[in-house]
A = this chain, B = another copy of it.
Amino acid sequence: MPLWMVYHPVGAFTTEDKIAFARKVTELYAILPKFYVNVIFHEIPRNSFYIGGEPVDNFIRLSIEHIARTLPDDRKAWWLERTNEAIAPFVKDRGFDWEFHIPSRSHDLWSVQGYRPPAADSEDEKRWARENKPSPRTHD
């Protein structure tokens, strides 16, 4: 479900950084099957990223699509904070500037390995989480 796109300057992260970053993101979604968490790093070359018309080489832009769950209104500010905390060691604490937004996507136009993911908190979703892989639905 969550599809994290991380647009970052060339050389911002080593492979070790990226692994640690992706693991931190996965922990953030501990209620979900781990394999729901997609993180893709996109290196943006110099002079290809502009903020307010000025080239930036110190900026990290994240686009975070949520599919498996929709945040209720009263949890949104809290979730933004949690997300900021999770990424801080890789972003703020290293002196990068950053911005992110979290678009919500429809659960019912989503397919993983040919399967329609089961409903939130269903028996099937629990099995997917336990086995960390998709499998045919046994419930409705």
Please give the residue numbers on chain A whose beta carbons come within 8 Å of chain B beta carbons, in ascending order. Answer: 3, 7, 15, 18-19, 22-23, 25-27, 33-45, 47-55, 61, 63, 65, 67, 71, 73, 76-77, 79-80, 83-84, 92, 97-106, 108-114, 116, 132
Contacts and interface: CB of A to CB of B under 8 A. Distances in A.
Contact of A61 (B3, B19, B132): B3
Contacts of A80: 109-111, 116
A44 B80 CA distance: 27
Contact of A40 (B33, B38, B61, B92): B61
Which interface residue of A26, A50, A105 has the most chain B CB atoms within 10 A? A50
Count of identical protomers in the assembly = 3
B83 A111 contact: yes
B19 A35 contact: no
B132 A111 contact: no
A47 to B, nearest CB: 4
B38 A76 contact: no
B83 A53 contact: no
Contact of A76 (B7, B73, B108): B108
Contact of A15 (B33, B47, B67): B47
9 contacts: A15-B47, A34-B53, A37-B53, A39-B50, A40-B49, A43-B48, A80-B109, A100-B111, A102-B109
A110 to B, nearest CB: 4
